[in-house]
């Protein structure tokens, strides 16, 4: 049976992830060469920055997860 904290996590995480995915999908609009001009370097930097932040956040979850008690 799920605890209230687990239910809250699922509800809030789903909402935030959906918002993030929506914003990320809007990056595609920047690829329209009728309106924008960019270099491969700029694209690489943009996606590297996003990946670094994702990696940083994942590590935060892992660190906090090490202190959790495991239910069997």
The residue to which tokens 């995915």 are assigned: 21
* Predicted pLDDT of residue 64: 81
Which helix or strand (DSSP H or E) is residue 56 part of?
A: helix 40-66
* Predicted pLDDT of residue 67: 65
* Predicted pLDDT of residue 2: 87
The pTM is what? 0.77
- Tell me the two tokens of residue 26: 């809007």
Residue 65: band (very low, low, confident or very high) from pLDDT cuts 50, 70, 90: confident
The residue to which tokens 């008690």 are assigned: 69
């Amino acid at each position: 049976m799920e605890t209230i904290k687990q239910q809250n996590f699922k509800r809030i995480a789903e909402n935030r992830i959906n918002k993030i995915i929506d914003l990320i999908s809007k990056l595609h609009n920047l690829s329209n060469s009728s309106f924008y001009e960019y270099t491969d370097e700029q694209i690489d930097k943009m996606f590297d920055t996003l990946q670094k932040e994702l990696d940083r956040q994942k590590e935060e979850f892992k660190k906090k997860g090490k202190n959790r008690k495991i239910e069997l």
